[in-house]
Each structure stands twice: as C-alpha cells, then as structure tokens.
Structure 1
Amino acid sequence: MSAMADPVLVVPGLNGSGPAHWQSWIEALIGAQRVEQDDWTRPDIDLWSARVEQAIVAQARPVWLVAHSFGCLASMVAASRQADRIAGALLVAPASPDKFGITARIPDTPFPFPTVLAASRNDPWMTFMSAMHWADRWGARLVDLGEAGHVNTESGHGPWPAGLELFSQLQASAPVMTGALRD
C-alpha cells in the first residue's frame, strides 16, 4: 500500500467488530489501530465521534479511516471537525442516521479528502438509495457491492480481500500528503 506510513484507524460499528470480522482482519494485516468505545452496545453519536476525534488528534500524521456501520457516522462527524487531519476514508455499509434519530447531526457537505462509500443493495441498516444520497452529499465514490448484506461476519465477511483492495485503491488515488501535522 502506498501510504502505510500514515496511520490507519479502524472504526467499528454497533457491538464492535469481533475477531472474525473483516475489520479485525484488516487491522491485524496492516497494523491499524482500533478506535475503542466505552460501550459498544450504546451507539451515542456524541461519545463515539469524540472518541474518533481523540484518536485522530493523537496522531502526528494524517490518518486513514476504515469505518463500518455506526462507525461511519461517528467518523464523518469527527472528520467534519478534523478534516485537515484526514488522508481519506473508506466507509463500508454505513448505518442510516434515520435509524438512530440523528440525521440532522450528520454532516451533509462534501469532504476535502478522498472517500469511498461501499454499500450493499440488501443491507438492513441502510437502503442503497440512502447510501447513494450520502455518497453524493459527502462527495464520496459509491461502490456497489451487490447483495452483500451488512458486510459483517453474519453476511460472510470475515477476511475480505475485496475490501482491502478498495482501501488500497483509495490510498493510491489520494494526493500525497507530506510532513507531520502541527497542533
């Protein structure tokens, strides 16, 4: 991967990503850092996005976000406050903010960093039409995963080479950012 010197933050969704989940596989494979939450069973946009933001700010270099489900929403809220510290974001099977009553809290303008939103046509957490809407709002490249469910362990997504390839393509497409960030 072209930008492995830059840190990668894995941002799981509701209930975290267990050891068989594709995020855990990618995390171990590339040496990414997981953003931990105090309570994986209570999706709280304020607490979760603050934790993502803390992890972003703790890094000396721009970060790559690899987020899933509610973690996508928390990541985009945090990224709206720290956009200059983000190298790029891979958003896989985002959860619909409507399901949590937080739609008005989610940024709805394009981000200044490369973003890929990978969505399934039969995801119970977000319709494909909604994924198209959010990809457009965020200025993200939409990747149609077909009928892949919620892209989690239950839908058969443990080790996920196609997801790693999406991430590699995202990194390759990003402008080169040099130097450390300053506070």
Structure 2
Amino acid sequence: MTGNAKPTIVIVPGMREHVEDHWQTIVARRLGDAGRTVRTVPPLVRDRLSRAAHVTNVVDVMAQITGPVLIVAHSAGVMTTVQWARRHDADVRGALLATPPDFETPLADGYPTSEELARYGWTPVPRKPLPFPSIVVASANDPLGSPERVAGLARDWGSSLVEIGRVGHLNPASGHGPWPRAEELIEALEHG
C-alpha cells in the first residue's frame, strides 16, 4: 500500500434497486461513519440489463478515485466486477465477491432468462484469474447459484472461497440485512 493510505471502498451492487436494509448499504454506512472513504456505484436508470452499461458505471466511479480501491460486490455486481476487470485497470487491493449468480444456468422465475443474459452481453462468464486478490462468498442454498458452480467460479478466478451456510442469496429477500462478517472479510483483504 502506498504509505498508510487505506483503499477507497467501492460498493458494486447487483441489478436490483438499492435497499436501505441490504448488507452492502449497511456496510457502506458503517465504514463511512468510521472515517473510511466509500463510493457506491449508482443504480442504472436505463439499460438495466446491459452488461456494457453496468461496466461503464463502474468505470465512471473508478475514474473519480485517486489511489487504491477495495471492491465489495454482491450478486450481479460480482459479474459486473469480473467483466470490468477483463478490460480495465486500477490499483485494486482486493475484492469481496458475495454470492455471485450463475448466469450460465437458467435463473429462477422473476430473473433475466438465459437468452436475455446472452443478448445483453453477460455470457459467457469470464473464467480467467482476476488480476487482484479476491474472496468469493458462497451460500449453501442460494437460488441463483449452486455451491458447486460458485466454487468453480472461485477456482477459475483464483479466489479464496468462503462458505457461509444457508443464507439464501444473502439479501433482505432471503431474510438477511446486516452481515458483520463482510467487514471482517474486507479487513482480511486489506491486510493480505
């Protein structure tokens, strides 16, 4: 790390609307209250299924940051981060990649179809190792990604895998708001 500067925390949410009781929102607020610099990639108001639009959104946020960053991504935000990392460079000290969806297997009802994901550029999912340290968090009963498929993504990306039990998709819809372990994992990434 350059000097003692702590990296800016960049929150990369999924495709759904921001929710006040989502763990990412809570973590962003807690870290900000503790004096950390936190930037959240804003939700898209149009082209919400477009991979290119989501990646451009990350590019725009990263362009406003001087110095190192640490990414905290959830759900489709993980896929946005992985797609961004293929073509863009920044001083990324690490990435917490929580409950990535399996975009190469049909998702549950109410989510984009395989055809939509392909049409909007999400598949195939990049499988090369990420150019920065990362932790992939897997749920044993995530409706959007089986533990085996998520473990395969972690392996391909060169990420450490952390299994956190039966927490659904680790979001308010599956009964989860605060997730204190996120801050522990962020700290582990910061201190290597």
TM-score by length of structure 1 reads 0.85
Q: Is the 8 A contact 1:56 1:85 kept in 2?
A: no
Name the counterpart of 1:168. Answer: 187
Q: Is the 8 A contact 2:18 2:43 kept in 1?
A: no
In 2, the alpha carbon distance for the partners of 1:96 and 1:149 equals 14
Name the counterpart of 1:49. Answer: 55
How many residues align? The count is: 170
In 1, the alpha carbon distance for the partners of 2:27 and 2:43 equals 19
Q: Give 4+ residue runs of structure 1 displaced > 4 Å after superposition.
A: none
Name the counterpart of 2:170. Answer: 151
**Deviations along 1:75-119, whole A, 9 cap, x unmatched?**
111122234431110000111222433332x32111121100001
Residue 85 of structure 1 aligns with an amino acid whose one-letter code is D
Residue 151 of structure 2 aligns with an amino acid whose one-letter code is M
Name the counterpart of 1:103. Answer: 123
In 1, the alpha carbon distance for the partners of 2:51 and 2:167 equals 26
In 2, the alpha carbon distance for the partners of 1:18 and 1:53 equals 23
Which residue, 56, 78, 81 being the options, matches 2:84?
Answer: 78
Name the counterpart of 1:117. Answer: 136
Q: CA RMSD in A?
A: 1.8
**Deviations along 1:98-155, whole A, 9 cap, x unmatched?**
2433332x32111121100001011011111110111011000011111110000122
Unaligned runs of 5+ in 1: 174-183
Shift of 1:25: 0.4
Q: Is the 8 A contact 1:16 1:40 kept in 2?
A: no
Residue 81 of structure 1 aligns with an amino acid whose one-letter code is R
Unaligned runs of 5+ in 2: 33-37, 107-116
The structure with the largest alpha-carbon Rg is: 2
Residue 132 of structure 2 aligns with an amino acid whose one-letter code is F
Q: In structure 2, do the counterparts of structure 1 residues 41 and 22 end up closer, same or farther at CA, with 3 Å as the change threshold? A: farther
Q: In structure 2, do the counterparts of structure 1 residues 107 and 83 end up closer, same or farther at CA, with 3 Å as the change threshold? A: farther
| Percent identical | 32
Name the counterpart of 2:153. Answer: 134
Q: Larger deviation: 48-57 or 17-26?
A: 48-57
Q: Is the 8 A contact 2:13 2:41 kept in 1?
A: yes
Q: In structure 2, do the counterparts of structure 1 residues 35 and 84 end up closer, same or farther at CA, with 3 Å as the change threshold? A: closer
